[in-house]
Amino acid sequence: MKPDAAKREVEELRQRGTIIDLVDLNGQCYALTAVEAAVPPWDSETYEVAIAVPAAYDNAGLDGFYLRLPYKWNDKDHPRVNGSVIDIKSAQWKLVSWHYADGKSWKRGQDCLETHIIHCKGFFMHRGARNDYR
């Protein structure tokens, strides 16, 4: 199911030049897009990410994302790319443990797909992290 709010936002983002798609996988909606990364430590300047969009979006918010495999970080796996693996469009995507900082979780009316994509980019740029991964 593709929530109406997500469909509206995706259309607006496309009009502003963002390449983004919504897919439905067994009733779970994902927004597929790409974000830039810092090279090194990452082995690519861009990565495809999948953002799980809850059916009740945007009353329910966004958190975390899946990274399309394969990837390398410092020539190995990143310790926080450690969640479940799903299949979307004949590729494997792994859940990344990257969340909003304490006390700054998703806020309807302020946060949206656009801001969440930039939040996801922060993982690859190692910015805005309020704790360490080591």
Partner 1 sequence: MAQEHDSRVSVRTLDPLSDPAKFHIDENASLLNLMQEGAQRLAVALLPTPTSPFDLLHNILQHDEIGPAITDLDQAVGDFIKQKHTTRDFGIELVRAFRVNTRWAVAPEPELSPRQILALPAINLDFQTYTLYLPNSSNPLPLDTPVSISRGSVFEAQADGKYGYAQ
Instruction: Out of 60, 79, 92, 108, point to the residue binding partner 1 (CB under 8 A).
Output: 79
Tokens read off for 112: 């949206």
Does position 36 interact with partner 1 (CB under 8 A)? The reply is yes
Cβ of 50: how many Cβ atoms within 10 Å? 23
Q: Which stretch binds partner 1 (CB under 8 A): 25-33, 67-75, 85-93, 98-106?
A: 98-106
Site for partner 1 in 38-57 (CB under 8 A): 38
Tell me which residue of 22, 11, 50, 17 sits closest to 34, measured CA to CA: 50
Q: How far is CA 117 from CA 52, 59, 70, 90, 134, in A?
A: 12, 18, 20, 22, 24
Question: Residue count at the site for partner 1 (CB under 8 A)?
Answer: 37
For residue 107, state whether it binds partner 1 (rule: CB under 8 A).
yes
Q: Is 27 left (phi over 0), alpha (psi -120 to 50) or beta?
A: left
* Interface ranges with partner 1 (CB under 8 A): 13, 16-18, 36, 38, 64, 79-80, 82, 97-102, 104, 107, 110-111, 114-115, 117-119, 121-123, 125-133
